[in-house]
A = this chain, B = another copy of it.
Amino acid sequence: MSNIKGEKIVIIGGVAAGPKAACRVKRLMQDAEVTIIDEDSLISYGGCGIPYYVSGDVSDESELRSTSFHMVRNETFFQDAKGVEALTRTRALSIDRKKKVVLIEHVDTGVQQTIAYNKLMLATGSRPFVLPIPGADLDGVFTVSNLHKAIEIKKRIAGGKVTRAVVIGGGAIGVEMAEALTDLWQVDTTLIEFMDQLLPRIVDFPMAAMLATHLRDKGVTLHLGEGAAEILGNGGKVTGVRTARRTLDADLVIMAAGVRPRSELARESGLQVSAMGAIVVNERMQTSDPSIYAAGDCIEVRHLVSGKKFYAPLGSLANREGRVAGDNMAGIPSVFKGAVGSFIMKAFDVCIGATGLSHDVALAEGYDADVSLTAPSDRAHFFPTVGQVVFQMVFDRRTRRVLGLQGFGPMGDGILVRIDAAAALISTGATIDDFGTLEMAYAPPFSAAIDSINAAAYVADNICEGRLRKIPMASFLQWMEDFTIQPDWVALDIRHPKEVGPFVDKFGGERWLGIPYNEVRARYQELPADKTMILLCDAGTRSFETQSFLDSVGLKNSLVLSGGFNVVRKIGVDWYPQ
């Protein structure tokens, strides 16, 4: 440990990484003088809880600023309990790295002063990206950037001033805000997303499509592939949002178009900052000036799959990074190696999660990426609380490395189980084979004897080894909309005849063949050799088994619909019989 008596530690930013580092370093060096500087009056809050405060799940904003033992984390708390001075309503104007002083200004008085440091930490966080469109500054247009905004949003809704809302942006915060407005307050809510799917770059098409269907089922109007061109107003107040295709009435607009690092102070001080504006740090959270540390939403970190630096503004990472910064400021050489970008979200009655790279991103990064889409039971299928989940595992065909995992299922912790286990393995460079033998604890109330994560790896293995030939879900859905695009395709539905009947009735026996799974070995000679057979069942498992058999008798003209009807039904299609 560096043992300079009364070392001065100054931390700029008091939301997540800052307070975490401040308290850690103080515990490690009780004789240090630790000061947090923040321009806001409210500090050390759970920003990720804002949607739940707006929804009413969290009744008072002070809960977001409280400890688990119900003390509000204000200036007094930091002083008395932590021995840390928190200067709120105080702005850091500039850093003199040679003299090691920070020039600060008290927001309310305008009084300026300098504060000396031995170690400085930047935890300046992020700011919401405000779309450069007309009307963005109208009254009633909000970003979800801090507690004050959240308080104001909730006040307006609770005051009955909001009947129609438009959420701009289909990322996590946009979806969470849409849920908050719709579910708890019955606000007529429309969400628009510029990209053609929700959660772009986080999850791939099938997962995003299932989420979209669930949101629509719950009453959220979605317009995908549609950006906001203008925010409309009247007398300074918002009245609506115009897109390329329509005008949406609104008395509240939530702009949730992502965040950008707040790194002006770092850049102006001559610290190294990335092209997109994130502060560059090493594994010990040191900036290009070894006396200055940075952590949280203002930095970039290494992606543990791609090895590249990326921007991961997540409260959980901010806390972990903050602790590492605190250690290092106290002379303990802890390291933060990077992140895989794990993500989990509640959306009404469902849960969606992801870790590592999505298929889209992996392809863009140059991997020989493929996916296994599976739709198993989430616990022993005979257990009463059984539900159904969908996983998409992303892997590299050449190296067999698992690059990512996405999951969708009923609200609960079941998806999280697999996302977190996958994240733990992915960060070590694990392969499909490691995932196949990954030991997941089993008892019927919790899981299946072959856990869904193992099953996903088994399918990936079969794909990699050329034992499973599949058709992408998107291609199948396209074909179902228009058979003429692949006139030589035919469905081979191996489910129970009762399930198959309505499909044969609707699409015709030429297009839709039905042979039950357990009769294929006896009846395969009825099958066409001159058409491509799309093998259909509920999850894809029986289809794969059937393909293995058909291949062995020379019928190599089949493709498996991985995920099967379990996924099709969750995506929702208008051609489904009945």
Q: Which residues of B contact A411 (CB under 8 A)?
A: 445
Docked complex: A490-529 residues within 8 A CB-CB of B: 495-496, 517-519, 521-522
Residues of chain B lying within 8 A (CB to CB) of residue A28: 467, 548
Task: Find chain B residues with CB under 8 A from A58 CB.
Answer: 382-384
Interface residue? A68 (CB, 8 A): yes
Contact indicator A538/B420 (Cβ below 8 Å): no
Q: Which residues of B have CB within 8 Å of A521? A: 80-81, 83
- Interface presence of A243 (CB below 8 A): no
Residues A315 and B442 in contact in the complex (CB < 8 Å), given A46-B380, A83-B521, A433-B334: yes
Chain B min CB distance to A23 (Å):
8
User: How many angstroms from the CA of A382 to the CA of B57 in the assembled complex?
Assistant: 9
Q: Quick check: is A212 within 8 A (CB to CB) of the other chain?
A: no
Quote the shortest CB–CB distance from A135 to chain B (angstroms): 31
A425 at the interface (CB under 8 A from B): yes
CA distance A355 to B519 in the complex (A): 43
Within 8 Å CB of A319, what residues of B?
449-450
A527 to B318, CA, bound (A): 36
A390 to chain B, nearest CB (A): 14
Per-residue CB contact flags for chain A residues 40-74 toward chain B (1 = under 8 Å, else 0) read 00000010110010000110000110111101000
Q: Is the CB of B437 within 8 A of A324?
A: yes
Q: Is A185 an interface residue (CB 8 A)?
A: no
A46-B380, A49-B383 known; A71-B518 Cβ under 8 A? yes
Alpha-carbon gap, A458 to B67, bound state (A): 18
Among listed A106-114, A190-198, A335-343, interface-contacting one: A335-343
Flag if A441 contacts B419 (CB, 8 Å): yes
CB-CB nearest in chain B for A337? B437
A441 touches B344 (CB 8 A): yes
Hey, which chain B residues are within 8 Å of A82, CB to CB?
Answer: 545
* Chain B positions within 8 Å of A436 at CB level: 320, 323, 334
Q: Name which residue of chain B comes closest to A385, CB basis.
A: B57
Q: Is A16 an interface residue (CB 8 A)?
A: yes
Chain B CB within 8 A of A138 CB: no
Asked if A316 CB lies within 8 Å of chain B CBs, one says: yes
Kindly state whether residue A578 has any CB partner on chain B within 8 Å. Answer: no
- The answer to whether the Cβ of A266 comes within 8 Å of any Cβ in the partner chain is no
| Complexed CA–CA distance, A100 and B363 (Å) | 50
User: What are 10 A-B contacts defined by CB distance under 8 Å?
Assistant: A27-B548, A48-B443, A80-B522, A81-B521, A316-B441, A320-B436, A323-B458, A342-B440, A345-B443, A418-B420
Q: Which residues in A have some Cβ–Cβ distance to B below 8 Å?
A: 16, 20, 23, 27-28, 30-31, 46, 48-49, 52, 57-58, 63-64, 66-69, 71, 77, 80-83, 172, 314-320, 323-324, 334-337, 339-340, 342-346, 351, 353, 355, 376-377, 380-384, 411-414, 416-421, 423-425, 427-428, 433, 436-447, 449-451, 454, 458, 467, 495-496, 517-519, 521-522, 537-539, 542, 545, 548-549, 551-553
What 8 A-B pairs come out closest when comparing CB atoms?
A30-B552, A316-B442, A413-B413, A344-B441, A342-B441, A81-B518, A424-B424, A68-B381
